[in-house]
Structure 1
Amino acid sequence: MPEKLHVFETSQALGERLAQDILTRIVAKGEAPFLLGCPAGRSLRSTYEALARLAAQQAADLSRLVIVMMDDYVTRDEAGRYSFLSDTDPTTCLHFAEYELRRPINAGLAPALHIRGENIWFPDPMDPAAFDARIAQAGGIDLFLLASGASDGHVAFNPQGSPRNSISRVIRLAEATRQDNVVTDPAFGSASRVPEFGVSVGIATIADLTRSAVLVLIGADKQTALRRIMAATAYDPDWPSTVIWDCADARVYADSPAAGARA
């Protein structure tokens, strides 16, 4: 049975390993598009930084890479219509995808090798279920990178109690999720300034439309999350990031602070 938990001395070592795995998989896919599920936030930063560096070193062709973003904040108007915040707002995943993913990675590549702007996908807050159909029509996500909330195990914006069959939808953010997001992005200042709603992939979107998944845990504040995840054998709605165990080819990567006594 393959080892499911992999512990790395540092987040940089973890990021290096995972970034090289991503590039190897993209090459192996050949001429077909490669769908990479990506969270914003701090857990995957070392991976994204290593991906930019290694892609430049290897002159990797990322023109067929499709970055499938998991979620983003939305607002609701008086008529009940949802819309994204401005992409100039640095707290949004729209901003993260452009300025911490696409542009830094493209900076070291020749233009013909660039990640294309149209290959950054987000669920539409006015028709979120269409996101699942779009992913399915593209053949599914080749590799989904996941992260876990420290205090409640949320994955994307899926809170505790999220049904296993949930698909992409607009979610009212749980208070614990909003608190965690202040840690992720201190620019908010307080949980009261974190938007109340978000559009997010669902649990079934992750588990059923993914060929391979890696859940990444960085930092000592993720020790509880790691314990809860490794104690599970299948999806537990009380800790949504346990969805990893319902994914094909599932692995958990942790740095030594997150692993604690396991390291």
Structure 2
Amino acid sequence: MKVLIFRSRERAVVRAAGEIVQQLQARPASVLGLATGGTMDPVYAALIAAARDGQVAFDRATMFNLDEYVGVPPDHPRSYEHYMRTHFFDALNLPDRTWRLPRGDAPDPAAEAEAYEARIAEAGGIDLQLLGIGANGHIGFNEPSSSLSSRTRVKTLHRRTRDDNARFFGPDEVVPTTAITMGIATILDSRHALLLATGAAKAQAVAAMIEGPVSARCPASALQLHRHATVVLDEDAAQALELRDYYDTVHPDGEDGQMPAMRIPGLEPQA
């Protein structure tokens, strides 16, 4: 696991976006795994800016999202499909053939989950999987106690996850209790796992993921077993790491010599 710690949230976002840009520059027809949530808002803004600047194109890529709420139709303003359209797909006029999400309102969610897993396999597997991390250590909607060998399935959401996500719903709306999510084994099958975490609220989960035991208590800790995992952090998200000095020694200021300097309009450059 490569741990890169940057002085600011903006620099961490630029690095995360840069990894995706670099992947598509090397292989325009890459299969990407995408994530949602507040941490990802500036990443998608950065990717849109990079695409409009001519640095990258997404029209040959295939994109699979991590998850979707069960019982929520695609056009619902709180669905993850709506999020992706609003924050990314529509801004670049990406054709429907380039992206996939589980169908939250499918009549048989379990069958939809199984079919989604099959579609990922048919696409050749995920080249780069973008991830966030929940305050309780979940990745996707793989909550604590999730099997580390799990595949795409229906998962019951933890109360803390529902509480964290309640801010995206109106006061009279019920936060969904279940979701279709890629499993931990599905995520581990990706050729490159890229996790971005920013802010102090994620610090304890980040420490458990990187330095704690591999355990179902912190599902993200399974990334310790990944063949190519990159964790991108800002100072606040890194504050609970006990081996911080070592990470800074290996990659001072988050630099590893593998990412060319990159400027994204609206964000400070990496270098």
TM over 0.5: yes
CA 1:120–1:4: 2 relative to 1, 3 Å: same
Which residue in 1 is equivalent to 2:219? Answer: 240
Cα-to-partner distance string for 1:2-60 (whole Å, 9 max, x where unaligned): x7111112222112122122112112115xx2111111101222211111111111253
- Which runs of 5 or more structure 1 residues have no equivalent in the other structure? 76-84, 107-113
**Aligned match of 1:147 in 132, 145, 148?**
132
**Aligned match of 1:197 in 167, 178, 182?**
178
Say whether residues 1:228 and 2:202 are aligned partners: no
Structure with the bigger RCO (C-alpha within 8 Å, sep 6+) is 2
Identity of aligned residues (%): 31
8 A Cα contact 2:210 2:224, kept in partner: no
Which amino acid in the other structure matches residue 129 of structure 1? E
2 CA distance for matches of 1:140 and 1:217? Answer: 24
Q: Structure 1 length as normaliser, TM-score?
A: 0.83
Cα-to-partner distance string for 1:112-146 (whole Å, 9 max, x where unaligned): xx532222112343421122222122111110011
- 2:238 aligns to what SS in structure 1? helix
Say whether residues 1:117 and 2:96 are aligned partners: yes
- 1:131 aligns to what SS in structure 2? helix
RMSD across aligned C-alpha pairs, in angstroms? 2.0
Q: CA deviation at 1:189?
A: 4.3
Q: CA deviation at 1:161?
A: 0.8
2 CA distance for matches of 1:182 and 1:247? Answer: 31
- 1:198 aligns to what SS in structure 2? strand
| Runs ≥4 residues deviating over 6 A | none
8 A Cα contact 2:31 2:127, kept in partner: yes
Number of aligned positions between the proteins: 236
- Which runs of 5 or more structure 2 residues have no equivalent in the other structure? 104-108, 249-271
Which residue in 2 is equivalent to 1:69? Answer: 65
8 A Cα contact 1:97 1:120, kept in partner: no
Say whether residues 1:212 and 2:210 are aligned partners: no
8 A Cα contact 2:15 2:232, kept in partner: no
